[in-house]
Structure 1
Amino acid sequence: MEFEYKKVEPNHRDFQSLIAELNLSLRQMTNDTGESSFVSDAFDPSKDGCIIVYLNDTAVACGVFRYHESEVCELKRMYSNKAGAGSYLLKQLECLAIEKGYRKAILSTRRVNSKAVNFYCRHSYSESRAYGRYVGVDRSICFSKMLVT
Structure 2
Amino acid sequence: MIQLIRTKSDNQDFIDLVYLLDEYLAEKDGKEHSFYAQFNTIDALRQVVVAYLDKEPVACGALKEIDKDRMEIKRMFTKKAQRGKGIASQVLEELEKWAQELNYPTCVLETGKRQLEAVQFYLKNEYQVTPNYGQYMGIKNSICFQKNLTSKSFNTNSFSEK
TM-score if structure 2 supplies the norm length?
0.84
Query: 2 CA distance for matches of 1:120 and 1:52?
Result: 18
Q: Aligned ranges for residues 100-111 of structure 1 at < 5 Å? A: 100-111=102-113
Q: Aligned ranges for residues 12-27 of structure 1 at < 5 Å? A: 12-27=11-26
**Counterpart in 2 of 1:69?**
67
- Would you say 1:96 and 2:116 are equivalent positions? no
Letter in 1 for 2:107: A
Query: Runs of 5+ in structure 2 lacking a partner?
Result: 152-162
- Would you say 1:55 and 2:31 are equivalent positions? no
CA RMSD, 1 decimal: 1.2
Counterpart contact for 2:108–2:145, Cα < 8 Å? yes
Counterpart contact for 2:69–2:106, Cα < 8 Å? yes
Higher relative contact order (CA 8 A, sep 6+): 2
Query: 1 CA distance for matches of 2:73 and 2:28?
Result: 20
Query: Runs of 5+ in structure 1 lacking a partner?
Result: none
Query: 2 CA distance for matches of 1:143 and 1:26?
Result: 19
- Would you say 1:118 and 2:120 are equivalent positions? yes
1:84-112 deviations in Å (ceiling 9; x for gaps): 21011011111111111111000000001
Letter in 1 for 2:131: R
Query: 2 CA distance for matches of 1:75 and 1:111?
Result: 16
**Counterpart in 2 of 1:30?**
29
Question: 1:79: Cα distance to partner?
Answer: 0.4
Question: 1:41: Cα distance to partner?
Answer: 3.0
- Would you say 1:11 and 2:10 are equivalent positions? yes
Give the total of aligned pairs.
144
Ranges of 4+ aligned residues in structure 1 off by more than 4 Å? none
Identity of matched residues, %? 29
Counterpart contact for 2:48–2:63, Cα < 8 Å? yes
1:47-87 deviations in Å (ceiling 9; x for gaps): xx111011110001011111111121011110012232101
Letter in 1 for 2:16: S
**Counterpart in 1 of 2:155?**
none
TM-score if structure 1 supplies the norm length?
0.92
